[in-house]
Structure 1
């Protein structure tokens, strides 16, 4: 549907209507009422007979000629007193009638004129007014003609506008498809840049932007891959050296120091693995989608995370109507695992994971779940997330706790990886306050 034309056509029609009204009032203000001029032209025949035949008659033949015109014409001519004529006319026309001008009453299809200003036609003629009615005045026909003219003008304007807007609308749709492709991670998409296109400058800028983004992301992924792979070699050497050193060490204090160094190496190795996982999420084309049971996948995630919940309670509440969902099970599990590990780290005693969706809505979990949408909620009773930090916690390497000791652990990548995994499926991951007192992470995945 051409929305440009649909929005502009009523505006143009309204503009033409306003212009017609403005033209009418401008002409009326400067040159008089154009409707009266039209009426005078239509009543030109009776006025001509009055001025050129009846008025030029001698005084003794004036009434004779008046009666002849009355008999042979279709007009109704009557002599009425001046006072009666003044009563029938609006006040602004009284002066014109008194000085002997022809005064039109368009609505009544009648005109009035004094018979004699000096009383030289016959006795009392200066007090008579000639009323000529049933004139061939049809203002409606003239208004219809004017309306037809403006409609033709509007049509002549709207046809080129429709042709022009259709071409631009198609170009806008093409740009919109390119923008959608870029948003979905297909950075190779480019907008057409034909010379005849009115949107060529915008298409060129969009392509330049896509080139820069693609180059930056390629450089970032290349850097992450290179750094991660280059770090694995010295890490492996350190692990091997520490193992040899442990076998040769006899001092218990040295042995404790070696274990501490091994923990540092393992931490560094885990960081490299997380960086590689983050770098590997480069678009939907990398998804390995297949139908699977989300309930079973969530139970597997809860089982894998049990080691992180020592001394804490993990409660699972799953909707019984959960149905098979199609997606990358590995990325789905990675996102849920990271949410559970994050909740286990910051909770005090209790963590609850709930799921709903499929073909029905679970009112006990979330009343906002639409049909076909899979929603997973992980909430805890920890300190929560301040409102001003709720977007930043999904940034890579960002942590509410700025310390890097092993008591808090982590590298600030878990939530970034979880959000990216959800985004690759076209879903959303947000955080809000929980009824348990801590944070409530909501993962919504479309059907």
Structure 2
């Protein structure tokens, strides 16, 4: 049996016990002691005999009838002084006795009652008390019935709890086992629980967590492989250039040095791109501020004025763009990367447009008239270090990080970026922001 069940057993039994005592004390406080009521019913015949046979006798026959009752019954009846009776009772019972009521003493199976209150039975009878002992009082049967009721209630509570805890214990055992598997690096292990299980949301979260970690590790593995490849190429060129530089003539040396400087710039650019990408991966909160969308896009074009020289730029901005609450610097970088792509792969025509879609969505698009992006490649171009084969050269191919930075920057704003075919003939990048 599992530990959950036994803990529930202890908890349920403790709760039922406390509830039973609470019920008993509440009834005792509000309606009187229930055990005393039971005892009164058990000795009602003896009390009836005293009240109807003895008490109703004439004054000169009262003692005779009392003695008659002693002879024909199994009761031990004595007359004792009132102070003696009061010393055997507690406070409430003393007050009841003082008023002439029958006072039960369940523990000693006896009752007390004053003979009378005004010496009407015999001289000094107001100071005497009838003490009847050996009464047929037995509350043990009642206590056994209560214990049986307690046991039945506990059983009917614990049976569904046993079934419930068993299923949960098995689910927890499975969670624990899979967690151990995760700890050992087996991230392809999954928790198999029914959707009706109360632990299913937790299991589903753990499965999603394992999937994300698995993807993250695979991404980092690919990233490490790609970084080493990207770094190896310019480093190899630098080594080769240094080797050739040693015995080369002066004119050749200048060319080699220029090529090596270009390789160094390439390494610096790669490192900067990687740092930017890492910062975006680690960034959870944006430095948001309200800014005009049309002003941001015009500033982006102004910052890229040198690169855009010779390009036919078509700027189409709606009049109702208004403002956006976000990180202006990140969005400038994202739109700048998209414009850089349009410059690299287009044939001189670029269209930048922005408009509202509904009341809370901004659509910004960058289009070019280049060869476009094949449909089969569109789902992968935002992956880190992914480049289409035809673009793998140091002048136009880049590092395959620009679009990855675009996607992360837009996702941090809660938006999305997709690529489609442009009416200009090339690629059309659509950025959606809310």
Q: TM-score range by the shorter chain?
A: 0.5 to 0.7
Query: What are the Cα deviations for residues 328-359 of structure 1, in whole angstroms up to 9, with x where unaligned?
Result: xxxxxxxxxxxxxxxxxxxxxxxxxxxxxxxx
> Which residue is 2:180 aligned to?
180
**C-alpha distance in 2, partners of 1:37/1:178?**
61
Aligned residue in 1 for 2:96: 96
Find the counterpart in structure 1 of residue 219 from structure 2: 219
Match of 2:160 in 1: 160
- Distance across 1 between alignment mates of 2:224 and 2:45: 96
Give the corresponding residue for 2:16.
16
The answer on 1:148 being equivalent to 2:148 is yes
Instruction: Map Cα deviations across residues 252-300 of structure 1 (whole Å, 9 max, x no partner).
Output: x9xxx99xx9xx99xx9xxxxxxxxxxxxxxxxxxxxxxxxxxxxxxxx
| 1:107 correspondence with 2:98 | no
Confirm or deny: 8 A CA contact 2:115 2:125 kept in the other structure.
yes
DSSP-derived class of the 2:188 partner: coil
Cα offset, 1:140, TM superposition: 4.5
Aligned partner of 1:134 in structure 2 is: 134
Q: Determine if contact 2:171/2:193 at 8 Å carries over to the other structure.
A: no
User: Residues 59-78 of structure 1 correspond to what in structure 2 (within 5 A)?
Assistant: 59-78=59-78
Q: What TM-score, normalized by structure 2, do the two folds share?
A: 0.53
Aligned partner of residue 85 in structure 1, secondary structure: helix
Deviation at 1:125, TM superposition (A): 3.4
Alignment of 1:3-82 (within 5 A): 3-82=3-82
Shift of 1:21: 2.2
Tell me which moved more, 219-228 or 84-93: 84-93
Q: Encode CA deviations 1:11-53: one digit per residue, 9 max, x unaligned.
A: 2222222222222222222222333223323322311221233
Structure 2 residue aligned with 1:351? none
* Rounded Cα–Cα distance in structure 2 between residues aligned with 1:213 and 1:116: 91
CA distance in structure 1 between the aligned counterparts of 2:104 and 2:72, rounded to whole angstroms: 22
**CA–CA distance in structure 2, aligned partners of residues 114 and 173 of structure 1:** 70
- TM-aligned CA deviation for residue 168 of structure 1: 0.6
Quote the Cα distance in structure 2 between the aligned partners of 1:58 and 1:249: 153
Pair 229,57 (structure 1): closer, same or farther in 2 beyond 3 Å: same
Tell me the alpha carbon deviations over residues 79-107 of structure 1, each in whole angstroms, 9 at most, x when there is no partner: 22333323333343333223221011222
SS at match of 2:153: helix
Structure 2 distance, partners of 1:178, 1:155, is 34
Contact 2:35 2:139 in 1 (8 A): yes
- Aligned to 1:22, the other structure's residue is in SS state helix
Q: Does residue 83 of the first structure (1) align with residue 83 of the second (2)?
A: yes
Aligned residue for 2:77, secondary structure, equals: strand
- The CA distance in 2 between the partners of 1:85 and 1:2, in whole Å, is 57
Separation (CA, whole Å) in 2 of partners of 1:128 and 1:202: 76
1:247 positional shift: 4.5
Matches within 5 A, 1:398-409: none
Instruction: Determine if the alignment matches structure 1 residue 244 to structure 2 residue 244.
Output: yes
Secondary structure in 2 aligned to 1:101? coil
Structure 2 CA distance for aligned equivalents of residues 225 and 200 of structure 1? 37
Q: What is the alpha-carbon root mean square deviation over aligned residues?
A: 3.4
Q: What displacement does 1:246 show?
A: 3.1
Give the C-alpha shift of residue 190 in structure 1.
1.6
The gaps in structure 1 that reach 5 residues or longer are 269-447
Aligned mates of 2:9, 2:249 — CA distance in 1? 88
2:201 aligned counterpart, secondary structure: helix
How far apart in 2 are the matches of 1:97 and 1:179? Answer: 72
SS of aligned partner of 1:211: helix
Counterparts of 1:320-331 in structure 2, within 5 Å, are none
Corresponding residue for 1:201? 201
What CA distance in whole angstroms lies between the structure 2 residues aligned with 1:118 and 1:131?
19
Q: Distance in 1 between matches of 2:225 and 2:87?
A: 100
Q: Is the 8 A contact 2:111 2:132 kept in 1?
A: yes
